[in-house]
A and B are shown apart, each in its own frame.
Chain A
Amino acid sequence: MAKEFVPNIRQLPKFMKEDPGILPGHRACAGCGCAIILRQLMMARRKPLVIANATGCMEVVTTIFPYTAWKTPWIHVAFENAAAVAAGIDAGRNKLQRSGRFSDDPDVSVDYDVVALAGDGGTYDIGLQALSGALERWHNFLYILYDNEAYMNTGIQRSGGTPFGAWTTTTPVGSKIKGKPLTKKPIVDIVVAHRIPYAATVSPAYWVDALKKFRKGLETEGPAFIHAFGVCPRGWRTDTKDTIKLSRLAVETCFFPLYEVVNSEWYLTGPSLTIAKNPERKKPVEEYLKLQGRFRHMLLPENKWMLEKFQELVDENWEIILKRAKNV
């Protein structure tokens, strides 16, 4: 068993300066939460990464021709097959390692980690079958879902990841419907149902927790899945400076609990474990909602039922996780 990775804020800047992984100058919106997730992934590297990136925000902003923000091998693939391409990269690596074709070439390394990177559209909706297939074939890769809860780069259309009541351009707020009438898809439950060795949720505000989970996901032999919470100031109608505050509030209100699932055993981690032990620390969900323009209609007095329903959904989800967690 390898020594546990403990991120150190004094050493990380040197590591990132030598080998940045992702460069500044990418064209993500100001205050993009997903760009922070990418940087934190780069901080948690142990080997070089090969990244298969599905179409989505992070693909669009990092590689606007002829510029690229990646300092690591990277391939852009279609929405539906990020996991399939990552599976192919994994198979290729296995073949090269087994045949020893480049074993005497000092310029070529076949020792690397494979990462599939996709947004919520590319995971919840379009890429789900490729993801399911790759998990079932037990490929050794890490799948990172950066969840900004709608198709942000095409103009804020609703996706399977959009929460209840959120305004998007395809679920507008009017007299017939008020935001998305349905709930968020429990993607981690779906993934864990494949009995994979590692799955986790990550919020960039708790970076020590996040870096540890990224490293664990990369170290896992077999498929690993990480659900990262990416705040989108543009689509959520929030202030750019509130990105980290919102990532923190999402965890504190238990809208997005932090946990990991190791071999189908659930463990709460970090702040969520603290909240599970001291339930009085759980904040009302209103604090999280009132910062966001997409939930503005829910705070009006005539829509009080929506706020109550949102709280009910969050509580229900939290109870389910509390029941499953082994360390509470």
Chain B
Amino acid sequence: MSKRGWQEIPIAGIPFLESTEYHTGDWKVFRPVIDEQKCVKCGNCWMFCPDSAIEWDGESVPKPNYKYCKGCGICAEECPAKAIEMVR
């Protein structure tokens, strides 16, 4: 038997799918709804979202992505204009 080198060792446990294919949105009970009239576009909701579920380009009104939003409610709590409401 020939000696085994490091190149023959099988590569172990490499995740090959992006997690965006797994939709965590069905965890939530409440979903955030942004009031476009009240929004001051400060970006707090975008900054503090743990799931990158707020889509924002830096200028317009942010848009929650319900595919990934887990409904934690941080955005509604941190909104200085109280423009986000958690709706069942």
Complex Cα spacing A209 to B55, Å: 23
B residues 15-39 near A (Cβ < 8 Å) are 15-24, 27-28
Q: Which residue of chain A is the closest to B46 with respect to CB atoms?
A: A13
Q: Which of B19, B27, B53, B74 contacts A62 (CB 8 A)?
A: B19
A residues 26-73 near B (Cβ < 8 Å) are 26-33, 35-36, 39-40, 62-69, 71
30 contacts between A and B (CB under 8 A): A10-B59, A11-B58, A12-B43, A12-B58, A13-B46, A24-B65, A24-B68, A25-B21, A25-B22, A26-B19, A27-B19, A27-B24, A29-B70, A30-B72, A31-B73, A31-B74, A39-B49, A62-B19, A64-B22, A65-B13, A67-B18, A67-B19, A67-B22, A68-B17, A68-B19, A205-B48, A233-B72, A240-B73, A243-B74, A245-B78
Complex Cα spacing A66 to B18, Å: 8
Say whether, besides A25-B22, A240-B72, A244-B78, A66 and B47 are in contact (CB < 8 Å): no
**Which residues of chain B have C-beta atoms less than 8 A from A243's C-beta?**
48, 50, 72, 74
CB distance from A188 to the nearest CB of B (A): 25
Chain B 44-88 per-residue mask, 1 if CB under 8 angstroms from chain A, else 0: 001111111100111100000101101111101110000000000
**Which residues of chain B have C-beta atoms less than 8 A from A63's C-beta?**
15
CB distance from B73 to the nearest CB of A (A): 3
**Which residues of chain A have C-beta atoms less than 8 A from B78's C-beta?**
244-245
Complex Cα spacing A311 to B74, Å: 28
Q: Does A22 contact B (CB under 8 A)?
A: yes
Closest 10 CB pairs of A and B: A241-B73, A31-B72, A25-B19, A35-B50, A68-B15, A30-B70, A24-B68, A30-B72, A240-B72, A69-B19
CB distance from A133 to the nearest CB of B (A): 25
In the complex the two chains form, is A67's CB within 8 Å of B15's CB? yes
In the complex the two chains form, is A32's CB within 8 Å of B19's CB? no
